[in-house]
Structure 1
């Protein structure tokens, strides 16, 4: 099923994580899954709003968490790509997504795609 919206991406990730984390190691905490789904929403929404559309979405399960890779059609890198995660001041109705991604994720990577656009990849810890 192609992912075309943040809601579809969240649903897909919830299913993948639910199946995986029911293993003997025990489930991820509700807070960790909520943080993961927030990052999913922000990454996909940013691709749609600022990246010329969603070109692809991948979920990889790792022992320490979930790697999300979101592909879009824009070569533009977020202006605060590897910032501190500080929230914008003053609040003007937007600008919270990228700082939240930075705060909740690790190993943030932004790579240009051969066919144009970029991939934003993050690791969201679940333990």
Structure 2
């Protein structure tokens, strides 16, 4: 599991073992982009920019949903895998997002809430929502990059 605090000071500790401190969608996007650049860019067959943009959109929506609808962001974890990235976002709310639109379908009309959850469903795979023992929930998704 990759859960690291993005540090410009060049700390040489393995980034997978450092705690993450994310307080906004912008900080989460910046952090995830740094992981993608570190993990995939040096290798052959690197992640394409469109796939990275999709990943960053999912990051934004998950973090924004935790902040706006989940009582705040309780944690953020990133796991780079061979084919993509697993994201886990923890919040303080027990409310589970509605999957009423089905896999990847966008609502026909705007019904007061945003388009974030349907976009997450469209762009991510292996979506899981687990209740946390201490209260709240974890939304975990896999976003393919290859």
Instruction: Name the TM tier (shorter chain).
Output: over 0.9
Q: What's the CA shift for 1:80?
A: 1.6
Give the CA RMSD over aligned residues. 1.5
Residue 91 (structure 2) aligned to one of 66, 72, 77: 72
Q: Distance in 1 between matches of 2:101 and 2:23?
A: 26
Summarize the alignment of residues 106-121 of structure 1 with structure 2, pairs less than 5 Å apart: 106-121=125-140
- Aligned residues between the structures: 127
Q: Distance in 1 between matches of 2:97 and 2:137?
A: 11
Choose 82-91 or 3-12, whichever is displaced more: 82-91
Q: What's the CA shift for 1:81?
A: 6.9
Residue 30 (structure 1) aligned to one of 49, 64, 79: 49
User: Once the two structures are superposed, what CA deviation does each residue of 1:47-100 show, in whole Å capped at 9, x if it has no partner?
Assistant: 001000000000000111000000000011012278322212213564210010
8 Å contact kept, 2:104–2:123 = no
**SS of equivalent residue, structure 1 residue 109:** strand
Q: Which gives a bigger RCO, structure 1 or 2 (Cα 8 Å, sep 6+)?
A: 1
Choose 108-117 or 20-29, whichever is displaced more: 20-29
8 Å contact kept, 1:10–1:40 = yes
Q: What's the CA shift for 1:26?
A: 3.1
Which runs of 5 or more structure 2 residues have no equivalent in the other structure?
Answer: 6-20
**SS of equivalent residue, structure 1 residue 24:** coil
8 Å contact kept, 1:3–1:9 = yes
Summarize the alignment of residues 41-60 of structure 1 with structure 2, pairs less than 5 Å apart: 41-60=60-79
Asked whether 1:105 is paired with 2:124, we answer: yes
Larger radius of gyration: 2
User: Once the two structures are superposed, what CA deviation does each residue of 1:16-60 show, in whole Å capped at 9, x if it has no partner?
Assistant: 110000233332000000000000000000000100000000000
**SS of equivalent residue, structure 1 residue 16:** helix
Task: Compute the TM-score of the two structures, normalised by the length of structure 1.
Answer: 0.93
Which runs of 5 or more structure 1 residues have no equivalent in the other structure?
Answer: none
